[in-house]
């Protein structure tokens, strides 16, 4: 059975196109005497939930990526400081610093 999705996603399209919430979109459609069924409302809610969940995942991914890049940058600066100190003074304070020097210099 083939469904007519043009009417089903009407409410969703209004909500997304004009960036309005469900109540405002329903009010606008009612002003133009366009009937909206419960099925259309449920469809619009589910689509909007999906979009919000996707946006939340993207935001979380960007935040984690930014944090990871920041940590990598800090570690790179730390490695440079350790190597510079070793070249200038020959001092190594920890085993981690020794591993860094061994990896980078030798």
Query: Tens-digit pLDDT profile for the chain (106 aa)?
Result: 445 556 568 888 888 887 788 888 888 888 888 888 889 889 999 999 999 999 999 999 999 999 999 999 999 999 999 998 888 888 888 888 888 888 887 7
pTM for this model (two decimals): 0.61
Establish how many alpha carbons lie within 13 A of residue 84's alpha carbon, considering only the half-sphere containing its beta carbon.
Answer: 6
Concatenated DSSP letters for the chain? Answer: ----HHHHTHHHHHHHHTT--HHHHHHHHHHTT----HHHHHHHHHHHHHHHHHHHHHHHHHHHHHHHHHHHHHHHHHHHHHHHHHHHH----SHHHHHHHHHHT-
């Amino acid at each position: 059975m083939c469904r007519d999705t043009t009417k089903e996603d009407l409410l969703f399209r209004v909500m997304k196109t004009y960036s309005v919430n469900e109540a405002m979109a329903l009010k606008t459609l009612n002003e133009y005497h366009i009937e909206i069924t419960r099925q259309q409302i449920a469809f619009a809610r589910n689509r909007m939930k999906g979009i919000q969940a996707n946006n939340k995942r993207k935001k979380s991914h960007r935040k984690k990526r930014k944090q990871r890049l920041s940590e990598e940058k800090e570690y790179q600066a730390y490695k440079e400081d350790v190597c510079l100190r070793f070249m200038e003074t020959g001092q190594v304070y920890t085993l981690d610093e020794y591993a860094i020097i061994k990896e980078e210099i030798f």
